[in-house]
Amino acid sequence: MLMGLYNYWVVVVLMMVGFYIVIAHGNLIKKIVGLSIFQTSVFIFYISMAKVDGGTAPILAEGIKQYSNPLPHVLILTAIVVGIATTALGLALAVRIKEAYGSIEEEEIQKKDNLDC
C-alpha cells in the first residue's frame, strides 16, 4: 500500500505543501514558489500514471513488447512550458509590484491600497 503507491504519496505531499505555501505565506515570491511546487506535483502525477510495470521506453525495436505510455509525457511537456510561463509572469509582476509599492509583502501592499481608497 505504502510502497506500491509511493509516487502518488509524493504527489499528494508535494501538492499539499505547495498549496499550503500559496495560501499561508504573505510574501509574493514565496507564493510563486509554492505555486511552482503545486504544479510540479501534477507533473509527477502525470508521469507516474504513464508508467507500465515492466515496460520500457516506447521505441520500435525488436524485443520490446511492453512499453510505457508516452502520451502523458508529451502532455506534461506542454504543462511544464505553461508552468514556466506562469512563474515568469508571476515574478515579473512581483518586480513591478516591488517598484510600485516598495514591498512584496501582502500585508503592506494591502495596507497601502486601503490608504488609497
Give me the residues that bind another protein (CB under 8 A), please. Answer: 19, 22, 28, 31, 35, 38-39, 42, 45-46, 49, 72, 75, 78-79, 82, 85-86, 89-90, 93-94, 96-97, 100-101, 109, 113, 116
How far apart CA 20 and CA 14 sit, in angstroms, is: 10
Alpha helices in 25-70 (DSSP H): 28-50
Report the residue number, 62 or 113, with the smaller CB distance to another protein: 113
Length of the chain: 117
Paired residues of 67 in beta bridges: 56
What's the min distance (Å) between Cβ of 78 and another protein?
6
